[in-house]
Amino acid sequence: MLLRLSLALVLALAAAPAAGLAQQGPRPAAPTESVWKPAATPPGGVAWSLLESTQEITRQDAKGFIYSKPVFPPAVKALEGKRVKVSGYMMPLQNGKTQTHFVLLAYPPDCPFHLNPAPMQFIEVKTARGVTFSYDVKTVEGTLQLLGHDESGIFYRIYDAQPI
């Protein structure tokens, strides 16, 4: 009798989370369904496929630190200093609900095995006014700066950015 009661309690507790999940609406896309798709290009914007066409040259120093610098293709070089629109996934760099300095990722940060994007798959963004953090795709417009010649591993920055 005690065994049956214990088994019934375990089954009831196991079913409770599943019942709660069923009431929350459609499930989010699994990592395998979404991680390999970059954010869609906004109308009149820059595609991640273009930014990802930048080549990365890496070297390792005597202590084992890896340094990288870009080789920008002509189409990316043509964007230097121009106002561009890009959509991506926000990764906050500050505490708080609004961010004036964040990273815009090409791919959703939903896979624990792909938390470290390549330098051509993210953009450092600086804004004058705060942008509210969310997990939704964000579109920003600002001036594109090409970086990385100092081997910092940051290839792109958008400054004077504004959310769209």
Over residues 79-105, the mean pLDDT reads 96
pLDDT at res. 103 = 96
- Eight-class DSSP state of 152: B
* Percent of the chain clearing pLDDT 90 (strictly above): 69
What confidence category does residue 9 fall into, taking pLDDT thresholds of 50, 70 and 90?
A: very low
pLDDT given at position 20: 41
- At 26, the pLDDT band (50, 70, 90 cuts) reads low
pLDDT score at 113: 62
| Burial category of 149 from C-beta neighbours within 10 Å (exposed 0-12, middle 13-18, buried 19 and up) | exposed
Q: In this predicted structure, what is the pLDDT of residue 114?
A: 56
Quote the mean pLDDT of the chain: 83
Do 65 and 139 form a contact (C-beta atoms < 8 A)?
A: no
Left (φ > 0), alpha (ψ -120 to 50) or beta: where does 134 sit?
Answer: beta
Q: What is the mean pLDDT of residues 89-114?
A: 88
